[in-house]
Amino acid sequence: MWFGFVFQCLCLSNFGLLSFYSILAVSETAKKRAILLEFSHWDEWVDVEDDVALAKQNGFRTFAATKDNPITATVDNHLRLYHAGFDVAYTYNLTNAVEARMKVNTLHRISPP
C-alpha cells in the first residue's frame, strides 16, 4: 500500500513505504498544500473507516479509486467507498458511479439525487 498527496500544482507525490501515521505527522505547511490524501488498495485495508476518519481529523480530504476495470467497478464497489467515508472517488465505470452517487445523495436527502 502507498499514500500520495495531490498538491495544488496537481503533482502526485508517491511517499513509498512511509506509514500512514508518519504521513499524518507531516508539517502543517504540507497539510495546507495538500488537496487530497490518496489511499491505494483501500479495499485490502484492515481499518479503512477508522483511518479515513483519522486522516480527516488531521486536516486531510480523502481519495480512493474504485476497482480498476469497468466490470469490477460495480455500484456496490462505489458504495463501499462512500460508506468508508472517502471524500472523493475516482471511477472506472461512470454509469455505476452515477447510480451509486444518486443512492448516496438520496440517503443524505440531497436534491437532486
Is residue 22 in some structural domain?
Answer: no
Measured between alpha carbons, how far is residue 77 from residues 26, 54, 56 in Å? Answer: 31, 22, 22
In the chain, how many domains are there?
A: 1
Is residue 112 in some structural domain?
Answer: yes
For residue 6, pLDDT over 50 is answered with no
Is residue 96 in some structural domain?
Answer: yes
Is residue 27 in some structural domain?
Answer: no
For residue 87, pLDDT over 90 is answered with no
Is residue 19 in some structural domain?
Answer: no
For residue 8, pLDDT over 60 is answered with no
For residue 55, pLDDT over 80 is answered with yes
Strands (E), 40-83: 62-65
Is residue 26 in some structural domain?
Answer: no
| Residue 83, domain extent | 41-113
Q: Could you give the percent of the chain with pLDDT greater than 70? A: 74
Is residue 13 in some structural domain?
Answer: no
Cα angle 63, 40, 18; round to 5: 105
For residue 98, pLDDT over 90 is answered with yes
pTM of the model: 0.72
